[in-house]
Amino acid sequence: MEVIGIDLGTTYSAAAVVTGDGRPEILVNRDGERLTPSVVLFDNPDAVLVGTLARRSATSRPGDCVRFVKRRIGEAAPVHVGADGREYRAEEVSALLLRRLAEDAGAALGRPVRDVVITVPAYFDDARRTATRDAGRLAGLTVHRLVNEPTAAAVGYGLRSGADGHYFVYDLGGGTFDATVLRVVDGDYEVLATDGDRNLGGYDFDNLLIGYLATRIHEQGGPDVTADPVLSAELRERCEAAKHQLSTEEVAPVRLVARGRTYAFQVTRTEFEDLAAGLLYRTELLVESVMDEAQLSWRDIDRVLLVGGCTRMPMVRELMGRLTHRVPEPGVHPDEAVALGAAVIAAALTEQHPAVTVSDVTSQALGTIALDADTGQLTNFVIIPRNSPVPCRYEETFVTVQPRQSRLHASVTEGEDSDPDHVAVLHRSVLDLPPGLPDEAPIRVVMSYDADGVAHVETIDATHGRSLGAVALDRPANLDGDRLAASRAALAHLGVR
Ligand SMILES: Nc1ncnc2c1ncn2[C@@H]1O[C@H](COP(=O)(O)OP(=O)(O)OP(=O)(O)O)[C@@H](O)[C@H]1O
Ligand SMILES: [Mg+2]
């Protein structure tokens, strides 16, 4: 069986495969490109347009064009409403992207592609991972594993360099940021700690520049660009281009024609860096906190890998130089490293590449709310701490608090805080307890993460050793089995081109 690696990015996606000589290679898409813009244009009732051509339409038909869908994966609200009124969820649009990537990969390989691993930001939570796996299913693919993006990048780099030691991966992409520390020994990649922010990427840097210039246009008596979808899509294009230019030049021009008038600006790198200082600082704090979690100092770090298109910005390189006193590894391709590593992990899963093993950690703590006997307060008890190696299984025993208690409030939380108001509640239900339980009857809560980082929970009546049921995390934001099947059938009628 041949499994390919797919980097499903916020702005760009890529597919790669391990070839006969054991090296990963990017698979070129039908447009002859190594990266496919993650853009879907709903311009035709029979088939959507994906990639560069769709992206070109972003400014002319912003209403039909769906971008940055990864920022919204795992949410229930639709990301697009078609001309026929059909609503599309983020995992459905992601499925269309995945289908295009898989079809193109198949064309490049000369055989159909069904089996994939898909990468996700390390900081993605359970709902977002589940939605990503569902997107693969909706695309008719078998998703063998979800792999964390920084881990994939480290594997791709490590395979080529053969270097052992501690790696620090700073991954700033189009939509998300991850900071990860790994220990690499002889083809064994062990993640020690990871942290991140799923809403911190190039998109946010663009938004700052857009907001800044929109204000200046308004000050000069121009229209409110942000209220006009076509103008804001145009300004977004110009600002992203200026951001790229500022990575190599000190000044970038931005021009926008609005209502017959031309607005022209010269943005300097210093101006842009001042605007972006807050975003950059947020990455710095996460870098420092992940080093604390890993209990390492910079002297222990042997390799610094910069991954993601945004690490081309000089301010990122300066920040990492200042923090680490190291030169980042030159051989890392910021846009391709994740897909290449994903291909290696895909091959390792099917034993085409037995030289690589990966052990990752969970980025989210999992727990439950119970009464703290000492304080009498409802408290969040963490059962699986953050940065635990996955897959993992932890259990904790609680006791009933009332005599002849007949029901139990069960909950599953995500987050580390002991205050229930400061964690996300993934699930709440009321379980019936069997009659005849003693006072302070032990109730065991078993929580696990599978290798994809998806959570599973079971509650057990320890008196009788009987399960009170596997808690199906209701994940209101995810599709249930019936809706998944219906959506898959509906999407099958829609082609990708
Ligand atoms: N030369 C450059 N200078 C500054 N930013 C750049 C440059 N080249 C690309 N970028 C930015 O990098 C981002 C895309 O990076 P990348 O392809 O790694 O992200 P992604 O995989 O789509 O997103 P994510 O990994 O967050 O889901 C975009 O915001 C893009 O504008
Ligand atoms: Mg990426």
Q: Does residue 494 sit within a domain?
A: no
Q: What is the pLDDT of residue 404?
A: 87
Domain co-membership, 152 together with 289: yes
111-120: per-residue pLDDT in tens?
A: 999 999 999 9
Contacts of 353 (CB under 8 A, 6+ apart): 18, 22, 344, 347
Give me the count of residues in the chain. Answer: 497
Task: Return the ligand 1 atom nearest residue 240 CA.
Answer: 31
Going from the Cα of 106 to the center of ligand 1, the distance in angstroms, rounded, reads 26
Going from the Cα of 364 to the center of ligand 2, the distance in angstroms, rounded, reads 20
pLDDT band at 162 (very low <50, low <70, confident <90, very high): confident
Domain co-membership, 133 together with 68: yes
54-64: per-residue pLDDT in tens?
A: 999 888 898 99
Query: Does any ligand 1 atom lie closer than 6 A to the CB of residue 70?
Result: yes
Q: Does residue 400 sit within a domain?
A: yes
Residue among 92, 134, 171, 197 flagged as catalytic: 171
Query: Does any ligand 1 atom lie closer than 6 A to the CB of residue 67?
Result: no
Q: Find the range with the poorest average confidence among 5-14, 98-107, 324-333.
A: 324-333
pLDDT band at 9 (very low <50, low <70, confident <90, very high): very high
Going from the Cα of 478 to the center of ligand 1, the distance in angstroms, rounded, reads 27
pLDDT band at 475 (very low <50, low <70, confident <90, very high): low
Let me know if 228 is a catalytic residue.
Answer: no
Domain boundary among 346, 361, 376: 361
**Mean of the per-residue pLDDT values of the chain:** 94
What is the average per-residue pLDDT within 188-195? Answer: 95
Q: Is the pLDDT of residue 381 over 70?
A: yes
Residue nearest to atom 10 of ligand 1 (CA): 309
Domain co-membership, 260 together with 312: no
| 236 against 160, higher pLDDT | 236
Q: Is the pLDDT of residue 244 over 90?
A: yes
Domain co-membership, 334 together with 423: no
Q: What is the pLDDT of residue 222?
A: 94
Going from the Cα of 173 to the center of ligand 2, the distance in angstroms, rounded, reads 5
Domain co-membership, 117 together with 161: yes
Domain co-membership, 88 together with 108: yes
Query: Does any ligand 1 atom lie closer than 6 A to the CB of residue 415?
Result: no
Q: What is the pLDDT of residue 474?
A: 57
Residue among 104, 126, 134, 149 flagged as catalytic: 149
103-154: per-residue pLDDT in tens?
A: 999 999 999 999 999 999 999 988 899 999 999 999 999 999 999 999 999 9
Percentage of residues in the chain having pLDDT higher than 70: 99
Domain co-membership, 38 together with 128: yes
Residue nearest to atom 15 of ligand 1 (CA): 309
Which range marks the domain in which residue 165 is found?
Answer: 4-200+279-361
Let me know if 7 is a catalytic residue.
Answer: yes
Query: Which among 433, 410, 406, 416 is positioned nearest to 382, based on CA atoms?
Result: 416
Domain co-membership, 206 together with 195: no
Q: What is the pLDDT of residue 307?
A: 97
319-372: per-residue pLDDT in tens?
A: 999 999 999 999 899 999 999 999 999 999 887 677 889 999 998 899 999 999
pLDDT band at 476 (very low <50, low <70, confident <90, very high): low
Domain co-membership, 372 together with 341: no
| C-alpha dist (Å) from residue 305 to 35, 155, 287, 360 | 20, 11, 13, 17
Residue nearest to atom 9 of ligand 1 (CA): 309
Q: Which residues pair with 32 in a beta bridge?
A: none
Let me know if 416 is a catalytic residue.
Answer: no
Q: Does residue 229 sit within a domain?
A: yes
CA distance 375 to 379: 9
Q: Find the range with the poorest average confidence among 107-116, 170-179, 471-480.
A: 471-480
Query: Does any ligand 1 atom lie closer than 6 A to the CB of residue 176?
Result: yes
CATH number at residue 150: 3.30.420.40
Query: Does any ligand 1 atom lie closer than 6 A to the CB of residue 71?
Result: no
Let me know if 219 is a catalytic residue.
Answer: no
Residue where the block lists tokens 């999407």: 491
Going from the Cα of 170 to the center of ligand 1, the distance in angstroms, rounded, reads 13
What is the average per-residue pLDDT within 208-218? Answer: 97
Query: Does any ligand 1 atom lie closer than 6 A to the CB of residue 9?
Result: yes
Domain co-membership, 82 together with 16: yes
Q: Does residue 491 sit within a domain?
A: no
Q: Does residue 482 sit within a domain?
A: no
Domain co-membership, 37 together with 105: yes
Residue among 7, 134, 234, 414 flagged as catalytic: 7
Domain boundary among 243, 274, 305: 274
Closest ligand (CA of 196) = 1
Going from the Cα of 240 to the center of ligand 1, the distance in angstroms, rounded, reads 10
Q: Does residue 484 sit within a domain?
A: no
Q: What is the pLDDT of residue 351?
A: 77
Domain co-membership, 224 together with 331: no
Count of structural domains within the chain: 3
Residue among 70, 134, 234, 335 flagged as catalytic: 70
Closest ligand (CA of 153) = 2
Task: Return the ligand 1 atom nearest residue 172 CA.
Answer: 26
Q: Does residue 148 sit within a domain?
A: yes
Task: Return the ligand 1 atom nearest residue 7 CA.
Answer: 21
Whether the Cβ atoms of residue 159 and residue 356 lie closer than 8 Å to each other: yes
Task: Return the ligand 1 atom nearest residue 203 CA.
Answer: 29
Domain boundary among 274, 289, 308: 274
Query: Which of 310, 332, 336 most suits a substitution to test ligand 1, by most atoms within 8 Å of the C-beta?
Result: 310
Percentage of residues in the chain having pLDDT higher than 90: 82
69-87: per-residue pLDDT in tens?
A: 999 999 989 999 998 899 9
What is the average per-residue pLDDT within 207-236? Answer: 95
Q: Does residue 496 sit within a domain?
A: no
Going from the Cα of 227 to the center of ligand 1, the distance in angstroms, rounded, reads 26
Q: What is the pLDDT of residue 373?
A: 84
CATH number at residue 398: 2.60.34.10
CATH number at residue 228: 3.90.640.10
